[in-house]
Amino acid sequence: MRNPFLLTGEIFGVVSAHQSPPRGSGKSLIALHLVLEQANYFNYAITFNFDIDATALYHYCYYMGYHNVIRHLRLGNIHVRSLVNDKGETDLTSFILGNQRIFVLDEAGIFCSSRNWQKISDKWQADLAMLRHFNVRLWWISQHYSHVDKVLRNQSNYVIECSSLLKPSLELQGAGKILMKIYYVYINKSYEYLDNKAPRISGLNLNMHRFRGAFFRKFIPFNDSDLLLFRVYKSFSKKIGDKPIISNFPNLSGYNPRKINYYSNQQFQDIYNEDYDRQIKELSAECFPISSLPLPFIRNKIDSDITDIFACS
């Protein structure tokens, strides 16, 4: 597994590194990358609170080999749900419904704000403590650690701090273009210490504290998979709190899926049953349109994979 810390813990926080620009830290990109890896490993469904492009999600998962996520997408188990109820109030309790599922909460600094902790229900706080009993994972994403309610922070197992190497881009009208994604992983207590100390230090001293406090570090060049992942989510392209939608879902009305044998995966099993994996790949190739892929070289890669799959079947 690329990120072994995903095997343990129930609540994960994703924040921008101190001194990172307001946009361009790559926190949403990194969060979604880790969520999908974890969902595929545990064979869990996912609920987001922001818009998702279903076909783009399929393209990314097929490229990465996340065939369990594709299975849940085909079965309609990938959901989007608003955190705002019909009265316009934040309703955190109704967001986390179900088990064997990962819940992704973007803009946690707004919906679980440290300034509005009085509005967070006792049931929500109790539910956080009980997540481990229901095979549930919760990911929250915020610009800054301190913006999030203390109850949620204290219940978090890990905090992933994100930054990136950028260069100005004419193509993006002067905005920064990501060259490399960087993330450090901390246990919550270590990051709480760093967050309290960061305002009083800077430069090399801050970077030394960041490096020493993290137990896992990753430096990943921006690559083809990131170009696909950028198309999956729109975060809050509309007004924050609007009901999210999962769009661009292929029309499967004329498709009669073949029945396949399902092999349940043990929670910490590294290698899925090869026969199950092969059949899921075949279903993936049949269910979703691949010709609409935006990048020819990625399309060619997936086309060749499909040829290999059917050649072996």
In a domain, 298, yes or no: no
CATH code of 71's domain: 3.40.50.300
* Mean pLDDT value of segment 262-269: 40
Give the list of residues 6+ apart from residue 304 with CB closer than 8 angstroms, or none: none
Phi and psi of 294, rounded to 5°? -75, -20
* Mean pLDDT value of segment 57-78: 85
* Mean pLDDT value of segment 1-20: 88
Tally of structural domains, the chain: 1
- Is residue 201 helix, strand or coil? coil
Percentage, residues of the chain above pLDDT 70: 67
In a domain, 288, yes or no: no
Least confident of 84-88, 138-142, 240-244: 240-244
What tokens were used for 11?
């609540």
β-bridge partners, 247: 53
Looking at the predicted structure, is the pLDDT value of residue 11 above 60?
A: yes
* Mean pLDDT value of segment 6-30: 86
Residue 272: what pLDDT?
43
Residue 159: what pLDDT?
96
In a domain, 259, yes or no: no
In a domain, 61, yes or no: yes
Biggest CA pair distance of the chain: 62
In which residue are the tokens 């060749």 written? 304
Query: Measured between alpha carbons, how far is 208 from 204 in angstroms, rounded to an integer?
Result: 6
pLDDT tens readout for residues 185-229: 999 999 999 999 988 887 888 889 999 999 999 999 988 888 888
* Mean pLDDT value of segment 15-33: 85
Looking at the predicted structure, is the pLDDT value of residue 25 above 60?
A: yes
Residue 277: what pLDDT?
52
Residue 261: what pLDDT?
41
- Residue 112 Cα to chain centre, angstroms: 18
In a domain, 126, yes or no: yes
In a domain, 201, yes or no: yes
Looking at the predicted structure, is the pLDDT value of residue 309 above 50?
A: no
pLDDT tens readout for residues 100-118: 999 999 988 787 776 655 5
Residue 184: what pLDDT?
96
Mean per-residue pLDDT of the chain: 76
In a domain, 281, yes or no: no
Quickly state the pLDDT bin for 96 (edges 50, 70, 90).
confident
**How much is the pTM?**
0.78
Strands, E assignment, the chain: 11-16, 45-48, 51-53, 78-80, 101-105, 136-142, 158-168, 176-187, 216-221, 233-235, 246-247
In a domain, 257, yes or no: no
Stronger pLDDT, 24 or 159, i.e. the higher one: 159
Full residue range of the structural domain in which residue 239 is found: 8-247
